[in-house]
Amino acid sequence: MRLTQGAFSFLPDLTDEQIGKQVQYCIDNGWAVNIEFTDDPHPRNTYWELWGQPMFDVRDAAGVMFELNECRKTYKGRHYIRVSAFDSTHTWESLRLSFITDRPEEEPGFALERQEVDGRSIRYTTRAYAANRPEGARY
Amino acid sequence: MNAIDKTKPAEEKRSRYSAGVMEYRKMGYWQPDYEPKDTDVIAVFRITPQDGVDEIEASAAVAGESSTATWTVVWTDRLTACDKYRAKCYRVDPVPNSPGSWFAYIAYDLDLFEPGSIANLSASIIGNVFGFKPLKALRLEDMRLPVAYVKTFDGPATGIVVERERLDKFGRPLLGATVKPKLGLSGRNYGRVVYEALKGGLDFTKDDENINSQPFMHWRERFLYCMEAVNKAQASTGEIKGTYLNVTAATMEDMYERADFAKSLGSSIIMIDLVIGYTAIQSMAKWARRNDMILHLHRAGHSTYTRQKSHGVSFRVITKWMRLAGVDHIHAGTVVGKLEGDPHTTKGYYDLCREDFVPQNLAHGIFFDQPWASTRKLMPVASGGIHAGQMHQLIDLLGEDVVLQFGGGTIGHPMGIQAGATANRVALEAMILARNEGRDLLGEGPEILKAAARHCLPLKQALETWKDVTFNYSSTDTPDFVPQATAAE
Amino acid sequence: MDAVIDDPNIVPDAKAPVPGAIDLRAEFSSSGLAEVFDQLDRELVGLVPVKQRLREIGALLLVDSARKRFGLEAVSPTLHMSFTGNPGTGKTTVALRMAEILHRLGYVRKGHLVTVTRDDLVGQYIGHTAPKTKEILKKAMGGVLFIDEAYYLYRPENERDYGQEAIEILLQVMENQRDDLVVILAGYADRMERFFTANPGFRSRVAHHVDFPDYSAGELDAIGGRILETMNYRMDAGAQEAFRRYIDLRMLQPHFANGRSIRNALDRARLRQANRLFNAERPVTADDLVTLTAEDVLASRVFSGGIDSYPPLHPSN
């Protein structure tokens, strides 16, 4: 399966040139760019690990690409890595863009567990197959 | 203007309150020198008087009938601070290129309205006055809602930002589809459509406005099968999915029951129709706020009074009321699709949904600066006769904070619903990627789509299937202040 | 970090289609380089050899980019530079214009200048240096990183100096991300020479050496004139004569910092003028307010053998 979180998961994996253009778009809008990574792809796993601090003062995408490459040196192939951009404008003050740049080589996907409860109601639990193993040893 | 302007408002007390019938303008409802206070509610009406009725008198009558007046003088006025409670018409302008019609600006003191009640606001402003005999037609064009009044409402239960955070979807429009056929599917078959569409790449599916609880599908069946479909699609993509479960019903008790059931099944969003009425909408908004639920509003019925320019209530007023009332989604037009929508007027609606401050913009039909005072943002929904081949136009016109609903454009795909959904999602992502790279969407849109279709067969088929579909008709509700070109390509 | 300087002259430019032949003169004028050089002439007195070097570098880059458009150039050229010279000789100003030249020719994408010294790059404790250096490098990417007194990065007397860590990261980025960043190392000529000898990695990565000569007395006088002009002051004849004598004396003294010393001297002369006018006990005219007189200049310690600086280097004088 292919995890489809993020803005560009239905497109072929972005090249570094394409990632750089998106990052530059974020910088030009005055947004702070974050690099985050995780090996728990659950859709409600909000807090991926931050790779360093959000980059508030970078002028050129090359600065972000530099950190992305550093992050990849450690996590590529074993973790998901995403780039997200934070907008501090009043009444927004949240993310404006988020997309996956790197994914594990294999994506085994999720099991859907159903617990039959009252009447015909069912409680659903989504569980990533990868999450059966301890953090850091999942992919 | 003429001598009428010089008529002094609120004549000397004794003569003003003598029993009998008096012209409205002489009763103090016409005050050309009045300067609206920052806390006044202001309404602008399009007034078409009966032949022979003076526009100033007609406008003053509207002010009177929408506030304190009746057809005759009443001495009980003198028991009140009636000068304060009287609505004041302070300006009457001829409508450009439309002889016989006037824009009347009327200011209302804040104390005329119950805080936080759309029912009360609308009972005053559009209560009696629309049937008033001396007028041929009357339309409420726009309202300036002062901050002091805006702050008495909770506003959207969720709002655009929090909705995006809950769904973990940023930087692109959300994608939806209304399950078709509108009527007749059993719960089990209905859920199939939901599953296919969500798995194929949509974020949401939607019940149609008239899907409630009919013989072919009772509401519990629909909810149970739909949530199975949502959860299954979520597990197969790792992405949060939702379906707007329509809880519209005959009574509030029924609606609460349905909403509670939707919540117990883990749905993130429910839906209501505009026809349930303002009070029911506000009740459901409060319920949604208490229960962390996104509240989708289908504007069923609005065209009966929003579409014709001469009579009714403009949709921009309904949009403002709904942002106050507290819904999270509202259908606000597509421009290019099958339903009414002039591009400039539609832009005005979208601004009213999404901006924190909307400046006056007559070309977009916005008569007043409207401050929203940090009221949460209302997500506009574009729905009705749109398809993947228009993606560049849709994003260019509507921006990224919008739900694009491709019903037929998903379910009608020749290779099936999943393929239809995938086509839309790929077209959307490719277009956002290109926009962010600085490419010219209107100029290069078709090329961008064609390039994206090279790695996506379903998109190629979609572009081929609907390549010639456009709905190029003249709009009826257009701004009065610029010459209008109409929608579509 | 001293500053991130955006040049208001920088405008994004569109890409031209590939022609059959390239008119270098036309390229020169359409790239706006002529304006940059004009501005440099206006901003900086003298510095003829520096301006000449800049024109040469500009021409080289223009030809390089023409070659690239014909497919004749495969690797991106090394653009890192060293600016050597005494303080106050215009190195930062020239670096700012250099950033603009590089931007106009498409060698850096943004064209901003980030000026730093050792303290901005090197940390105080273990693990501190790499993040600091990387932070600065990220900010400078797309533009020019100007490292003033770069030799302080290298402290051979201290084996455990963290400067070495910064040097390694710098060298790596200077080598691998030549498209993203241009580094200018600046400082006194002799110390830079020793720095390059001890760190051959830098020498091999620096393509252009620009030497900034000291200003002549005449040039310093002209600089003073321009400074006064921008501040809306002037000197009367007596003051001018005194100021020329001041320059001759000050140049021979230690801690002479070229243009910077001139600016400081004029600031002090303005102070004295203000004091003089205040104590004169008569109404002042507009003319009084803009005019520096001989006594404003002659009160300087320089004329009695002291060094004119603030805070005073030798308080006893």
- pLDDT tens per residue, range C262-289: 999 999 999 999 999 999 888 989 999 9
CA triplet C274, C279, C282: central angle to 5 degrees? Answer: 100
Q: Is residue A124 part of a domain?
A: no
| DSSP β-bridge partners for residue A84 | A34, A98
CATH number at residue B117: 3.30.70.150
**Residues B103, B166: one domain?**
no
Taking CA–CA distances from A70, the nearest residue in chain C reads C134
Catalytic residue among B298, B320, B344, B392: B298
Residue of C nearest to A65 (CA): C138
C9-33: pLDDT as tens digits: 655 444 555 567 778 888 787 888 8
Task: Report chain B's C-alpha Rg in angstroms.
Answer: 25
Domain boundary among B150, B174, B195: B150
pLDDT at B68: 86
pLDDT, residue B7, reads 45
In-domain check, residue A122: no
Count interface pairs A-C at CB distance under 8 A.
47
Are residue B353 and residue B374 in the same domain, yes or no? yes
Residues of chain A contacting C131 with CB distance shorter than 8 Å: 52
- The predicted-structure confidence for C49-61, as pLDDT tens digits, reads as follows 888 888 888 888 8
Q: Which residues of chain B have pLDDT under 70?
A: 1-14, 338-340, 472-473, 482-489
- Give me the number of domains chain A comprises: 1
Residue numbering of the annotated binding site of B: 128, 178, 182, 206, 208-209, 299, 331, 383
> Cβ(B245)–Cβ(B271) under 8 Å?
yes
Domain that holds residue B84: 23-150
What per-residue confidence (pLDDT) applies to C1?
61
C138 CB within 8 Å of a chain A CB: yes
Least confident of A16-25, B352-361, C16-25, C226-235: C16-25
Question: What residues of A are in the B interface, CB distance below 8 Å?
Answer: 1, 3-5, 7-12, 14, 18, 21-22, 25, 41-44, 46, 84-85, 90-99, 109-112, 120-124, 126, 128
pLDDT tens, residue by residue, C248-265: 999 888 888 888 899 999
By C-alpha distance, the chain A residue nearest B422 is A10
Considering the domain architecture, whether residues B204 and B142 belong to the same structural domain is answered as no
Is B170 close to A126, i.e. CB distance below 8 A? no
Note the CATH architecture for domain C3-212.
Answer: 3-Layer(aba) Sandwich (3.40)
pLDDT value for B486: 45
B364 is catalytic: no
Determine what percent of chain A is predicted with pLDDT higher than 70: 100
Q: How confident is the model at residue C77 (pLDDT cuts 50, 70, 90)?
A: confident
* Separation of alpha carbons C268 and C298, rounded Å: 11
Residue A87 in this model has a pLDDT that exceeds 50: yes
pLDDT at A105 over 50: yes
Residue C76 has pLDDT above 60, yes or no: yes
**Would you report the helix, strand and coil content of chain C in percent, each value rounded to 5?**
55, 10, 35
Ordered by start, the domain boundaries in chain C are: 3-212, 217-304
Residue B125: per-residue pLDDT? 94
**Domain around A85:** 16-107
For residue B33, the tally of other CB atoms under 10 A from its CB is 9
Handedness of CA C65, C66, C71, C72 (dihedral sign): negative
Is the pTM higher than 0.80?
A: yes
3-state secondary structure of A125: strand
| Assigned domain for B476 exists | no
> Between B409 and A47, whose confidence is greater?
A47
Residue C4 pLDDT greater than 80, yes or no: no
- How many other C-beta atoms are found inside a 10 Å radius of the C-beta of residue B123? 15
Residue B471 lies in a domain: no
B331 with B454, same domain: the answer is yes
Query: Per the domain annotation, does A48 fall within a domain?
Result: yes
Residue B319 lies in a domain: yes
Q: What CATH number does the domain containing A76 carry?
A: 3.30.190.10
Same domain, B100 and B202: no
The interface predicted TM-score of the complex, written ipTM, equals 0.97
Residue-level pLDDT at B186: 96
Please determine, for residue C308, whether its predicted confidence score (pLDDT) is greater than 80. no
Q: What sign has the CA pseudo-torsion B384, B387, B391, B396?
A: negative
Q: What is the mean pLDDT of residues C91-120?
A: 92
- Please write the tens of the pLDDT for every residue from C188-214: 999 999 999 999 989 999 989 999 999
Which residue is listed with tokens 């302080």?
C152
pLDDT score at B3:
42
Task: Assess whether B6 carries a catalytic annotation.
Answer: no
Q: How close A16 gets to chain B, by Cα (Å)?
A: 13
Beta-ladder partners of B298: B273
Closest approach of C180 to chain A, Cα-based (Å): 6
| One-letter-per-residue 3-state SS of B201-256 | CCCEEECCCCCCCECCECHHHHHHHHHHHHHHHHHHHCCCCEEEEECCCCCHHHHH
Report pLDDT digits (tens) over B411-446.
999 999 999 999 999 999 999 999 999 999 999 999
Distance between CA B164 and CA A94 in Å, rounded?
Answer: 9
* pLDDT value for C18: 57
Judge whether A3 and A107 are in contact, CB under 8 Å.
yes
Domain count, chain B: 2
Strands C182-187 and C144-148: parallel
- What residue numbers of B does the annotated binding site for Mg(2+) cover? 206, 208-209
B306 domain-assigned: yes
Helices (H), B66-180: 82-85, 118-125, 147-150, 159-167
Same domain, B348 and B320: yes
Q: What is the chain C residue with the closest CA to A56?
A: C139
Distance from CA of A31 to the nearest CA of B (A): 12
Whether residues B314 and B257 fall in one domain: yes
Cα separation, B476 vs B442, in Å, equals: 25
Residue B215 lies in a domain: yes
Q: Which one of the listed residues B180, B232, B286, B460 is annotated catalytic?
A: B180
- Contact B165/A111, CB-based, under 8 Å? no
Average pLDDT, chain C: 86
What amino acid is encoded at B469 in this protein? V
Residue A132 included in any domain: no
Quote the minimal CA–CA distance from A20 to chain C in Å.
12
Confidence grade of residue C74 (pLDDT, cut at 50, 70, 90): low
Quick one: which of B376, B318, B368, B336 has its CA closest to B151? B376
Domain C217-304 falls in which CATH fold?
Helicase, Ruva Protein; domain 3 (1.10.8)
Instruction: Please tell me whether residue A33 adopts helix, strand or coil conformation.
Output: strand
B351 in Cβ contact with B357 (< 8 Å): no
Q: Is it true that the peptide bond before C311 is cis, omega within 30 degrees of 0?
A: yes
